[in-house]
Amino acid sequence: METWFKLAPMALKISILTQVFVVGLTTIWEDATYLFRRPKLLLNSILARNVAAPIIAIVLIKAFSFHVAVASRLECWR
């Protein structure tokens, strides 16, 4: 049974890699350059990922109490 626990993470990584590869095979050049042709959407995407998401995460961390193990791990963000 322990071998399954060792093989599961590797199987998950391989399946994710395979799915990304298959999706990549079906894309065309216009799909890859979509955001560069729409600068406002590109800026909104960057702001959402690099500004809004961390702010929401910090607010949630401050708003809720966490288990000691999680809280000590989060101390590096304060």
For 21-68, write each residue's pLDDT tens digit.
999 898 899 988 999 999 999 999 999 999 999 899 888 878 887 666
Long-range pairs for 14-17 at CB < 8 Å and ≥24 separation?
Answer: none
User: Does the pLDDT of residue 69 top 80, yes or no?
Assistant: no
Q: Which residue did the predictor score with more confidence, 71 or 10?
A: 10
Cα distance between residue 47 and residue 25, in whole Å: 29
DSSP string, 31-70: HHTTGGG-HHHHHHHHHIIIIIHHHHHHHHHHHS---HHH
pTM over 0.95: no
User: Does the pLDDT of residue 78 top 90, yes or no?
Assistant: no
- Whole-number pLDDT of residue 72: 60
Total domains in the chain come to 1
The residue segments making up the domain with residue 54 are 2-77
